[in-house]
Each structure stands twice: as structure tokens, then as C-alpha cells.
Structure 1
């Protein structure tokens, strides 16, 4: 849209300037008052200049994008008003100079404040990234998660058990320690990314820097924690909403949001444990009770009379 505006306003400016030059001769007569053409030329030139500067500032300082349209509008109004005052009300030149100076000083201060806050945010974000690299707890939880689920996903039954362990379906379950540690590690890392997502949402963390560092990690995390996220949101729809938002922003789509209605179609890879292994885990205590209950009892054989 901005490129179209720049092109259209530039075309109007050049066309108006050519027409204006053609009717500067004494014998030429313009069909309307020439001052209207002059106003159109100034408006088009001002629009072209303001939008071009807007594009440059947004690309150079992306953090200014939120309020820059307002300041661009103010600059456009001040510039066009300056033309009107200088042409028709030159007695207000002193007031005009004060207005223009105030606007540009205020805009410069605003841009400096925005860039200073952005630099502080990037520094804070970099410290968090480096802290995750040196945190013993984070590295331990990450290793526990990826040890079993690097290329596989957590089954739905285990995800449901993690969220609602008191359900009757799980009264005979006995989860091996390594699987339990892997699930806890996955939940830990999911919560870490949820923290990052909320920090980005409230502009405390730098989105671009985190995206470059963690976008591929988040894709794998959402895949292996697919059912964990779905089961958690069944209990509380707000759970891991930041993780889903980040997945859409960083990777273009969220497999949780896309395949929530039909989880079997989600491209999350094989489950660990598989179907047979999951059956053994779900009924581990029952099998143990059955084995203990079927052991033969000692028979007392009476001796001879």
C-alpha cells in the first residue's frame, strides 16, 4: 500500500509540475485558478516525501511502526500548513517556525526514546538467551525431554495422565521413571516458551532475536508436546496460548491449532511408547496384582498315621 501511495503521489506531483510549467507563459490560460494546481502539487509532493520517509524509518527502526503513522500525519499537516501560511499569511511565520521546530524536536526525542527502549529490550533478551545456555536446570530438562522425544511424540494417554492423573482410566498405570522425566522436561520447556511468548506480547522481550534463535526449536517442541498442549487446554483454554501464537508468528502455522479437530492427521511422527508399550504401562499395576494373585500356595501334605 505504501509503495502504491508513493508511486501515485509522485506521478501526480510530476504531472502537476509539468502542467504548471506549461502554463507559466503569459499567453497560456489555465482552465481553473492556478493556486489550486499549486496546492495539488504541494499536497502530492508532501505525501510522497512523508510516505518515503515513513518507509525508511520503519525499515531502519521497526519498533517505531506503532506510532509512526500518527507522527507522519502530523508532519504532513505541518508541511502543508507551512505552504499555506508562507503563501497567504506570511505574518504568522514566527509562529510557524516555533511549530515546526517543536514538531521535529518532539519527533526526534520520540524516535530516540523508542530506539533506546528497543536496545534495552534486546540486551535483556540476549541475557535471557545466554542464561538458558548456562542454566543447569534448563539443560537438564531439555536433555530429559529430547532423550526420548527427539523424533517421537508423547502419546495422548500419557498426556491426559499428566494433566489429569486421578482419572479412573489410570488407576492401574505405572509410568517408568525415564518416561516420566521426559514428560516433565517437555512441560518445563513448554512453560519456558510460554514465558517468552508473554514477554514478547508485553514488549519486554525482542521478538526478532528470539525468533532467529528458537523458531526451529519451537517447531520440534510443539510437535512432541502436541497432545500435552491439547489436553492442558481442555482443562484451561488459556494454557500455552502463547506457545501457539509464537508457532504461528515464527513458523507460519501452529499444528495444534490446525489439527486440533482431527489429531490423528497431525504430522507429529511416531509415538513413544508405541501402542503395545502403552498398553503395558496403562495396566502395569493390574498385571502385577494378577501375577501375585495367581502364585500357587504351599500345600501342607499330611504325614502318615
Structure 2
């Protein structure tokens, strides 16, 4: 059996869908805007199908921390204790004996405490989730308003941009680090700034402080582009320091097409 790449699978599915259509696309007389919208929907559908059935999905899945799990564990313990205690009190009570009514009232109070702790847990989880989403949006949306970010991105793109095949290698970094030229020094700072910036974002994702889906939707192409531009330098550096760009490497692998 031939193992097809992700791009080949996409083309195969697109070809099958095109051949199964009863009418050509021109038949529907779509405007340019409508056609672009439908093509985006089709692309998203194909991507979702391939990701869902990809054999490499587990390999590329990103394990992130869940900071709220200890809270859920505490809530679960509280509810178990409350239920067990309430059940014991009810078992000792007798509806025909009014002297045991306080036991039933106590059981009801304990159950109410358990329900209240569950509500507290849900409210806290919603607040934590909203705060994480808002923090992620703020971090992404304000990057272009930061002069340092715009400056370093521009310097890096001028040297290693889309239309240049030059990659950031260890020899280039070493040459820049000993150069007395101001432009070389700025370029070296730009390389370090960009790598550290995306490492910071990646660390936030893995620690559960940033929302991965939002980052994926907004920064996926940028994070892959700059990682691949700096790949030779990252690999050489990781050979001597395995933890260098560790989070960025993990997130980049999860961002790649399955």
C-alpha cells in the first residue's frame, strides 16, 4: 500500500469531490467573493477530514498543562466526602422518628455544600478559560503595536525573507556575533528576539497559559516560517543544549500539517 503525503491526500480528496459534482462550478454563477468563501469552506473541510483520520495525529498532538485540574480534583474530593457523609447520616435516620430529623437536615446541608463547591468549580473554570483566551488575544493583537517587534521582524525579513533562500546557520550567527558592524549586530539581535518571542509563546501554550487554537489560527504560518528559516541554527544549538527552543520545537511540530 502506498503511503501518501498530506498534500497528496488533499489533492486526491479534492479530485474525488470535483468528479462527483453534478454540475461544474461555473454553473452556479458565483461572484468572486462567494467563490473564495466556498473554497475556504472546502479547504477547511478537507483539512479537518485528513487530520481526523491521520495516522500521525497522535505523534503530532501537543500535550499541554491544565492548570485548573487541581481545582477539579479538590471539588471532586469535596463532593465524594459530602455524598458519603450524607449517605451515612440518612442511613442512621428514621422518617418515623422525629428525633432523627436533624440527621436528615444535616445530610441536606452537606449535599448543598457539595453542590456549592461544584458551582464554585464551574465558575472558576469559566473565569480561568476566559482569562486565558483574553490574554492570548491581547498578546497576539498587540504585537504589531510594539516597536521592537516590528523593528526586528523587518530586519530579519530584509535578510532572510520569503524571496531569499538563505537560512540562519551557526556560522552566520557566529560571524554576526564577532562583527563590529552595527547592521550585523542588529541582525543578530533580531534573530535572537524572534526566536525568544516564539519560544515565549510556545512555553505559554504548553504551560496552559495561552490558548493553542487561537495561536494556531493567527500565528501558524509565521511560527512555521521563522522556525524553518532558523532550523540549521536551532538544530546545531540543540546538539549542545537539548532544552534550547524546546517548547518552540514541540509547538511547531503540532502546527505542521498531519
Same fold (TM over 0.5): yes
CA distance in 2 between counterparts of 1:127 and 1:149 reads: 26
Larger RCO (CA under 8 A, 6+ residues apart): 2
2:162 corresponds, among 150, 157, 181, to 150
Structure 1 105/153 Cα, relative in aligned 2: closer, same or farther at 3 Å?
A: farther
Across the two proteins, how many residue pairs are aligned to each other? 185
Report what 2:233 is aligned to.
Answer: 228
In structure 2, the gaps of 5 or more residues are 1-65, 95-99
Report what 2:150 is aligned to.
Answer: 139
Report what 1:246 is aligned to.
Answer: 251
CA distance in 2 between counterparts of 1:190 and 1:113 reads: 34
1:103 corresponds, among 99, 114, 130, to 114
1:102 match: secondary structure? helix
Report what 2:50 is aligned to.
Answer: none
CA distance in 1 between counterparts of 2:70 and 2:255 reads: 20
CA distance in 2 between counterparts of 1:189 and 1:76 reads: 49
Report what 1:213 is aligned to.
Answer: 218
8 Å CA contact 1:63, 1:118 repeated in 2: no
Structure 1 115/232 Cα, relative in aligned 2: closer, same or farther at 3 Å?
A: same
CA distance in 2 between counterparts of 1:252 and 1:63 reads: 28
Deviation at 1:251, TM superposition (A): 3.3
8 Å CA contact 2:85, 2:110 repeated in 1: no
Deviation at 1:190, TM superposition (A): 1.3
Report what 2:125 is aligned to.
Answer: 114
| Partner deviation per Cα, 1:191-215 (whole Å, 9 max, x = no partner) | 1011112233444433332232212
Structure 1 88/229 Cα, relative in aligned 2: closer, same or farther at 3 Å?
A: same
CA distance in 1 between counterparts of 2:246 and 2:138 reads: 24
CA distance in 1 between counterparts of 2:111 and 2:146 reads: 52
Structure 1 100/149 Cα, relative in aligned 2: closer, same or farther at 3 Å?
A: same
Q: Are positions 1:160 and 2:165 aligned together?
A: no
1:238 match: secondary structure? coil
1:199 corresponds, among 190, 195, 204, to 204
Q: Are positions 1:128 and 2:139 aligned together?
A: yes
8 Å CA contact 2:199, 2:247 repeated in 1: yes
In structure 1, the gaps of 5 or more residues are 1-61, 254-305
Tell me the TM-score normalized by structure 2: 0.55
